[in-house]
Chain A
Amino acid sequence: MRLRHIQIGLWVMAGLAALAYGAFILRPQMNTQTHETTFRSEFFLADGAGQLRTTDEFAGKFQLVFFGFTNCPDVCPTTLSEVAQVMDDLGDAAAKVQPIFISIDPERDRRLGIDTFAHAFHPAILGLTGDAEATRAAAESFKTFFEREDATDATDGYTMSHSAALYLIGPKGDWLRQFDYGTPADAILSDLKSRF
């Protein structure tokens, strides 16, 4: 009986060792995979009319995605102006690109109107104001950052800080690259044209 116990104990230890060794061997590869092939950005967010919009509906198109908020007087209008310029300059190829503005301040932006703001820059820009949880999930899948900051001297007592980059998603939903804040429309345009 005692020997049998020891035998089982040894087998369990051998099994654990094999698992640990396997995990040790596989871990670096799994990490590489996460970075290189499984990085997909997705959103499931309501548009200005309250309809649920998802990444899948834009399959086959390039998506230019920017996270911001409409109470933002400097960074967001500047970036959306560049995006609008890109859409104008694309001409017929504009049909291949969907510009998307995702609000990271959705509650207030729903009240202020996301469509009037987005369309003031370009009618093609789709504005999205999901609920807080869906917005957080979308931001995480784009590996983008936003945070609410209390500020007594700001409108409604708070402002938002956020990643200011513009993200490019490919026709198969794959994350392709980001354009840093301040990238001029010409540079975005030539990058897009090189991919058509």
Chain B
Amino acid sequence: MKNLLPAMAFLLAAPMAQACETFTSGDISVQQAWSRASIGTGRPAVLYLEITNSGAMDDALLGLTTPAASMPMLHETTVTDGVAAMPHAASIPVPAGQTVALSPGGFHGMLMGLTDPLVEGQTFPITLTFEQAGNLDVTVDILSMRAKGAACDDAK
């Protein structure tokens, strides 16, 4: 029963969340933006999304801002000889005609200094800055702490 309740809450929340929404600026579009619920504000939260560059020119994600966190940064998880480290990524290349994923175990946004706890089922706004395409506002779905991927995969 204890496990059933969160599962049911998730089923109810999934159709309500604005999952799979695509945000576009010029040749750049962003979809499947999600994060995990946080416990309070003491620990950094994460940000995952997919970026598609449909243009002929290479672009790069340079950074992000959000009212949800005072120090949002781009990071990359590297696993070398089984040891995971998380260096800061100065920028994330988005080559022409390609889709790049910020996903578990790879590039991700690290949201330090949360202003409020991230609550499952809610959303928060971020502004991504691209080298070529400029700024792009994106809405991020807050999923369960146990989420492994965007909820819209199931909703499709």
Q: Which residues of A contact B (CB under 8 A)?
A: 70-75, 77-78, 80-82, 84-85, 88, 112-113, 116-117, 120-121, 123, 145, 149, 151, 153-155, 159, 161-165, 180-182
Which B residues between 20 and 51 are near A, CB-CB below 8 angstroms?
Answer: 36, 39, 42-46
Contact of A74 with B39 at beta-carbon distance under 8 Å, contacts A81-B146, A123-B2, A180-B82 already known: no
Distance from B150 Cβ to chain A, minimum over Cβ atoms (Å): 14
**Set of chain B residues within 8 Å of A84, measured between Cβ atoms:** 146
Tell whether, in the assembled complex, residue A121 and residue B146 are in contact, meaning their CB atoms are under 8 Å apart.
Answer: yes
Does B145 sit within 8 A of A, measured CB to CB? yes
Q: Contact check: which of A81, A82, A155, A164 meets B84 at CB < 8 Å?
A: A164
Report B-chain residues with C-beta under 8 Å of the C-beta of A180.
82
Given contacts A75-B105, A117-B39, contact A181 B2 (CB under 8 A): no
5 closest A-B pairs by CB: A164-B84, A161-B85, A73-B46, A78-B104, A81-B146
Q: Which of A81, A113, A165 has the most chain B CB within a 10 Å cutoff?
A: A81
Task: Name B2's closest neighbour in chain A (CB-CB).
Answer: A123
B73 touches A71 (CB 8 A): no
Q: B124 → chain A, closest Cβ, in Å?
A: 15
B interface residues, how many (CB within 8 angstroms): 31
Q: Once bound together, how far apart are the Cα atoms of A123 and B82, in whole Å?
A: 27
A71 B44 Cβ-Cβ under 8 A: yes
Known: A73-B43, A155-B44, A159-B86. A164 touches B79 (CB 8 A): yes
- A74-B46, A155-B113 are known contacts; what are 20 more A-B pairs with Cβ within 8 Å? A71-B43, A71-B44, A72-B86, A73-B111, A74-B105, A80-B146, A81-B146, A85-B146, A88-B3, A120-B39, A149-B85, A151-B88, A153-B71, A153-B73, A153-B88, A155-B44, A163-B83, A163-B84, A164-B79, A181-B84
Within the complex, what minimum Cβ distance (angstroms) separates B84 from chain A?
A: 4
User: CB < 8 Å: which of A88, A112, A121, A155 contacts B145?
Assistant: A121
